[in-house]
Amino acid sequence: QKEVEQNSGPLSVPEGAIASLNCTYSDRGSQSFFWYRQYSGKSPELIMFIYSNGDKEDGRFTAQLNKASQYVSLLIRDSQPSDSATYLCAVPPRDNYGQNFVFGPGTRLSVLP
């Protein structure tokens, strides 16, 4: 059974710092990975996905994937108070045929002004 693990936090960083969010997964065959952001009381929204080893950058966000170590991370540069949210790591089903996306428990990030 696939598992996805994250530190629950809260992770507190000062405004302008780099926030580093980590995720490990159990299924060595997993090919792609998603990061969702969920503000308190709201639904999750997709912010990034990555499927190749290495880094993928999108604005202030960088996703990093190391398949050999079964590790994926999300870096947020120049953190803003508006980045304060819970960040969910998710592994989709391999064949995208109605199977379960496996979500981590989420890491709560607090950016202090």
Compare residues 41 and 113 and give the one whose CB is closer to other proteins: 41
Position 9 contacts other proteins (CB under 8 A) = no
User: Per the omega criterion (within 30 degrees of 0), is the bond before 105 cis?
Assistant: no
- Per-residue x/- mask for other proteins, residues 22 to 61, rule CB under 8 A? ----------x-x------xxxxxx--x-x----------
Give the Cα separation of 78 and 93 in Å (integer). 33
Question: Shortest Cβ distance from residue 18 to other proteins (Å)?
Answer: 25
For residue 61, CA distances in Å to 43, 47, 51, 56, 108 come to: 20, 9, 15, 8, 16
Position 106 contacts other proteins (CB under 8 A) = yes
Position 97 contacts other proteins (CB under 8 A) = yes
CB half-sphere exposure, 54, CA atoms < 13 A: 3
Question: Shortest Cβ distance from residue 60 to other proteins (Å)?
Answer: 20
Question: Shortest Cβ distance from residue 39 to other proteins (Å)?
Answer: 11
CB half-sphere exposure, 83, CA atoms < 13 A: 27
Question: Shortest Cβ distance from residue 57 to other proteins (Å)?
Answer: 17
Q: Which residue has 């995720």 as its token pair?
A: 23
